[in-house]
């Protein structure tokens, strides 16, 4: 074997390096084409998308309903909740359960906010076992750890981020404790949440589900006012990042149509708040309209309604999407059955799912 010269060894090394480089580049090209296929665009702008196999409804409208279904519990005792109704449900619960299923079917809303119902798991089980043909696939709630009345959302269309207020402490406006300190609470703020609803690929809105503190008198009104102030604080932050956000508020607000707390929540020129509640509202960016205002279409009590406690409110940006004449108080069951099921009547609206 002839010994190689320095020049031939150098040429051999050069050829080897060239071949190695070509192999490396070819491998990178193959790797790139095999692991980075062209990705399809997400259904929803941004990070959020839809579950595999989900298809949005083909129509251009969506219905939203709210209904307080009055102490509606399942048959099982939750050991962490010490309440007689939850521990040992009354005998009429099975009959009410059947009425609830019939009522939800007849109401036929795409998005439903339920108040005074035990849990998200209970609602999801009902939807899966008794309403499977209606398309309710998405659920959320921010539940109390020690009470059985919660606000639960069920929806045919996907949800985005859900904002919980469960642990926020809000003032009970105008009320002092026995020690002379301003009273505050966080006991019922789990009954208020905000969820993003992806109604269509290019149309989303923010839905607040709410069951404000019940009861008459200054203390309960002050409790609700503190909750309303919290909502407006959160709306300020939302509209600061998205000035054109569509916002709906749906629920049992336990506030009469001319009450200070509802006027404060509406924050519009047509329904000014009393002078005692004006402080701080000048900086609020959200104002709302009650499409049923002035119609005397009452929601409570269901047997012989004489007051409005239940609302679906729309902010200025969402109002153009409200279908004219669609806001109503439906009776999906007979008068007698409505009264057996709940002491409240539902509220229902239809919105278009394109910006108007």
The encoded tokens of residue 19 equal 């071949």
28 within some domain: no
Q: How sure is the predictor about 41, in pLDDT bands with cuts at 50, 70 and 90?
A: very low
257 within some domain: yes
33 within some domain: no
If you average pLDDT over residues 255-259, what whole number do you get? 94
What pTM did the predictor assign?
A: 0.86
Q: Which residues, other chains included, contact 327 with Cβ-Cβ below 8 Å and sequence gap of 6+?
A: 291, 292, 312, 347, 348, 349
Residue 39 in this model has a pLDDT that exceeds 50: no
183 within some domain: yes
74 or 4, which is more confident? 74
288 within some domain: yes
Which residues lie across from 6 on neighbouring strands? none
Helix (H) or strand (E) run with residue 112 in it? strand 111-117
How many Cα atoms occupy the beta-carbon half-sphere of 18 within 13 Å? 6
**CA–centroid distance for 250 within its chain:** 9
Residue 43 in this model has a pLDDT that exceeds 70: no
Using CB atoms within 10 Å of the CB of residue 176, give its burial: 0 to 12 exposed, 13 to 18 middle, 19+ buried: exposed
How many Cα atoms occupy the beta-carbon half-sphere of 99 within 13 Å? 20
Average pLDDT, the chain: 88
Domain extent at residue 292: 61-352
Find out whether 281 and 273 touch, Cβ atoms under 8 Å.
Answer: yes
CATH of the domain at 181: 3.60.10.10
Alpha carbons 283 and 128: distance in angstroms, whole number: 45
Torsions phi, psi for 346 (to 5 deg) = -80, 165
What total of structural domains would you count in the chain?
1
119 within some domain: yes
243 within some domain: yes
Which residues lie across from 210 on neighbouring strands? 192, 251
15 within some domain: no
């Amino acid at each position: 074997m002839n010994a190689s010269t320095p020049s031939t060894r150098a040429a051999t090394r050069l050829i080897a390096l060239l071949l190695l480089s070509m192999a490396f580049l070819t491998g990178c090209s193959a790797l790139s084409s095999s692991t980075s296929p062209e990705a399809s665009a997400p259904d929803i702008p941004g990070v959020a998308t839809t579950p595999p196999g989900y298809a949005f409804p083909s129509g251009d409208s969506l219905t939203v309903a709210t209904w307080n279904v009055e102490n509606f519990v399942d048959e099982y005792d939750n050991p962490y909740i010490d309440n007689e109704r939850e521990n040992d449900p009354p005998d009429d619960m099975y009959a009410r359960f059947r009425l609830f299923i019939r009522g939800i079917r007849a109401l036929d809303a795409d998005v439903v906010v339920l108040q005074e119902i035990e849990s998200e798991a209970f609602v999801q089980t009902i939807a899966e076992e008794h309403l499977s043909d209606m398309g309710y696939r998405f659920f959320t709630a921010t539940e109390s750890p020690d009470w059985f009345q919660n606000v639960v959302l069920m929806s045919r269309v996907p949800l985005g981020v859900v904002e919980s207020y469960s642990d926020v402490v809000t003032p009970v406006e105008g009320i002092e404790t026995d020690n002379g300190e301003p009273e505050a609470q966080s006991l019922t703020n789990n009954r208020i949440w905000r969820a993003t609803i992806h109604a269509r690929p290019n149309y989303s809105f923010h839905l607040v589900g709410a069951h404000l503190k019940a009861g008459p008198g200054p203390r309960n009104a002050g409790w609700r006012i503190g909750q309303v102030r919290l909502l407006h604080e959160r709306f300020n932050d939302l509209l600061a990042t998205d000035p054109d956000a569509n916002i709906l508020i749906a629920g049992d607000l336990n506030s009469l149509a001319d009450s200070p707390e509802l006027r404060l929540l509406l924050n519009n020129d047509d329904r000014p708040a009393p002078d005692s509640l004006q402080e701080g509202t000048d900086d609020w960016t959200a104002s709302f309209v009650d499409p049923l205002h002035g119609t005397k279409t009452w929601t409570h009590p269901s047997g012989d309604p004489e007051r409005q406690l239940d609302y679906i409110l729309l902010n200025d940006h969402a109002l153009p999407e409200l279908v004219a004449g669609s806001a109503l108080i439906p009776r999906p069951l007979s008068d007698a059955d409505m009264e057996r099921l709940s002491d409240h009547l539902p509220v229902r609206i239809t919105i278009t799912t394109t910006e108007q």
